[in-house]
Amino acid sequence: METVKTDVLIIGGGLASLCAAIECCKYGVDVTIADKGRIGSSGSSPTSGASPQVLLPPELGGHPDDSSEIYFSDIVRGSDYLSDQHKAAILVDEAPQRTIEEDRMGVPFLKKPDGKFETYITFGMSYPRVGPVRLDGGGMMQALRKEALHRGARPVEDVMITRLICGDGRVQGAAGIHVFSGVPYLFKAKCVIVAAGSALAIYPYSSASYLTTGDGYALCWDLGLKFANMEFIEYTLIPAPNGIPFPTGGIKPTTGRGAIFFNRLGERFMAKYDPEKMELTSRGTIVRAIYTELKSGNGPCCLDATSLKAPTMPLRKLQEACGIDWRQEKIPWVPAVHTFLGGVMIDEKGFTGIPGLYSAGETAGHGGAFGADRVAGAIAACQVFGHRAGKYAALEALETGDPEIAESVVEQEEKRWRSLPEAKGARPRELRQKIQQVCWDSAGIIRNARDLAAGLEMISGIEHSPVKADSVPELVEALEVKNLAHTARMVIRAALERTESRGEHIREDYPERNDGQWLKWLTLQKDNNDMRVSVHELPFDSYPLKPAMTIEKGRV
């Protein structure tokens, strides 16, 4: 058994994790980052365009007519009014600070000759905002990895955390397994931050090349924490040359720079779905438009990017990996999962309600800032709420004594891993494929009660299916499959309960938005072996924006 003692343990190796680690280190506490892959190369961020899409003052590149009020309004209206407006206000206020700070750390934001940040306009935004990064997500993540390690954060890679350990009324650490050797790990920590991403692997097609498997969700669920907005899965579009989906990050940077869509009939079909904004409509609208065209037999839906002066990340990857010349060819695109908008409920500090335990990033549903659909950058949300979780975890750790954990706790957890494989079980990869197909068919772009109910039954069966594993890596896959099945059950259960269409959740049997009944969050919580469903009323009396209100040039 390997034992690691630390002040703050951060679980996950993506953007929110690194932002939390950098902030923690400023307070002089001992920080450990544990990830089952390579820190800085995990999660959705490395495959992203890395654009925070934040508002900066004109002297730094922001649009002179833009304002914090308009930026805030874009987020709330884009959320279909399910945004936690207190968190959205924090995001609007602090995202510029995080961008400027990371620029100074060496994140290679693209600049104009006059030194101002480059900007572009994209889904649901009123004005162009900051802005691309050289080498995209990879460039950003490697700069932040370097910064975190330079400040003294300790990396523990290739270790999957499988259990959070609590005692004396607070979190005390975690247990994990080395994904290649099978060696058990015990982490003793005064505070823990769970920033392990979402569960992109519940669907067959994803914009990210590194597929998260719901590990952070499972850790927090086991402690009885509340989850919100799990029905809201954000989809995007990815290229599919020769009909084969290719994960390249989302469509946003490419349409934001002027690329346009045509269907098989040569129609610029976005005119049917949003004649005013066309390809700059909301993310949900453009994804549903492509989905509808394909289902109607009007596919393939091809992107014409010949007007672009330089390739975006997806176009560059296509050219490098597939030899496709975006300057001459029209490329088919298809829907794929992009981000989870739901997760563990946290407060403004990233606190989960259990002393010593914090969360950020997709695991925490970005704090609920985006509600039912996302306008503005998930990158900015990871920066802001990762920073906050790091700050407040460090402050708590400074006032907390060292935990005492018996090694028997890890021994019990190891026994659970070892007892998981069964001789007559299915291979983990086979079960993962079943989960992906069930989720795509029942809880994909368009949903209905019949398919959701059938999907819920099938996923429950898969979750309790015996699994076979003949090696340590396959045992790790088996643990991931259990996490995926549980996450899928949360998504489908919440989607079945919300009897309306809103944001990224579309019910063909309830096609209208129903503010009278559903201007609230759905929450899920562990109830013995069951899933308790309830509603969370949003405090609209204290929110500045209500449905049907808009802001234009700073005025309500």
- The CATH code of domain 417-514 reads 1.20.58.100
User: How confident is the model at residue 551, as a pLDDT?
Assistant: 44
Q: How confident is the model at residue 553 (pLDDT cuts 50, 70, 90)?
A: very low
Find the range with the poorest average confidence among 26-30, 40-44, 249-253, 398-402: 249-253
pLDDT score at 233: 96
User: What local confidence, expressed as pLDDT, does residue 549 receive?
Assistant: 54
Q: CA dist 53 to 98, 167, 211, 382, 520, Å? A: 12, 41, 24, 12, 27
For residue 432, which amino acid is it?
R
First to last CA, the chain: 60
- Residue 245 pLDDT: 87
User: Side chain identity at 399, as an amino acid letter?
Assistant: E
Give, for 489, the enclosing helix (H) or strand (E). helix 472-497
Q: Which of 225-229, 241-245, 525-529 has the highest mean pLDDT?
A: 225-229
Residue 271 is predicted with a pLDDT of: 95
Residue with tokens 């989607």: 495
Q: Quick one: pLDDT at residue 554?
A: 38
Averaged pLDDT of the chain: 93
Instruction: Compute the distance between CA of residue 475 and CA of residue 428 in angstroms, rounded to an integer.
Output: 8
Residue 64's SS3 state is: coil
Rounded CA-CA distance 415/370 in Å is 40
Burial of 323 (0-12, 13-18, 19+ CB in 10 A): exposed
Give the CATH fold of the 238-335 domain: Flavocytochrome C3; Chain A, domain 1 (3.90.700)
DSSP collapsed to 3 states, 210-271:
CCCCCHHHHHHHHCCCCEECCCCEEEEEEECHHHCCCCCCCCHHHHHCCCEEECCCCCCCHH
Confidence at residue 251, expressed as pLDDT on a 0 to 100 scale: 83
Instruction: Extract the tokens encoding 318.
Output: 């296509």
- Candidate from 109-118, 171-180, 242-251 with smallest mean pLDDT: 242-251
Tokens of 528: 């013995």
State percent of the chain over pLDDT 90: 80
Q: Is the pLDDT of residue 83 over 60?
A: yes
Look up residue 116 and give its DSSP letter: P
Strand blocks (E) in 23-76: 31-35
- pLDDT of res. 311: 87
> Which residue is associated with the tokens 């609209």?
540
Radius of gyration of the chain (CA): 22
CA 467, 469, 474, 475 dihedral sign is: positive
Residue 300, preceding bond cis, omega within 30 degrees?
yes
Q: What is the pLDDT of residue 552?
A: 47
Q: Where are the domains of the chain?
A: 238-335, 417-514
pLDDT tens-digit series, residues 298-317 = 999 999 999 898 888 888 88
How do residues 436-495 score in pLDDT, each as one tens digit? Answer: 999 999 999 999 999 999 999 999 999 999 999 999 999 999 999 999 999 999 999 999
Pick from 151-160, 414-423, 538-547 the range whose average pLDDT is largest: 151-160
Instruction: Name the percent of the chain lying above pLDDT 70.
Output: 98
Q: Does position 57 have pLDDT exceeding 70, yes or no?
A: yes
Other beta carbons within 10 angstroms of residue 54's beta carbon come to: 27
Confidence tier at 383 by pLDDT (50, 70, 90)? very high
pLDDT at residue 132 greater than cutoff 70: yes
Residues 13-47 have pLDDT tens digits of 999 999 999 999 999 999 999 999 999 998 888 88
Phi, psi values for residue 199, rounded to 5° = -145, 60
pLDDT, tens digit (0-9, with 9 covering 90-100), for 520-547:
999 999 998 899 999 999 999 999 998 8
Give the mean model confidence (pLDDT) for residues 260-264: 95
Collapsed DSSP state (helix, strand, coil) of residue 117: strand
Strand pairing category for 520-527 and 227-228: antiparallel
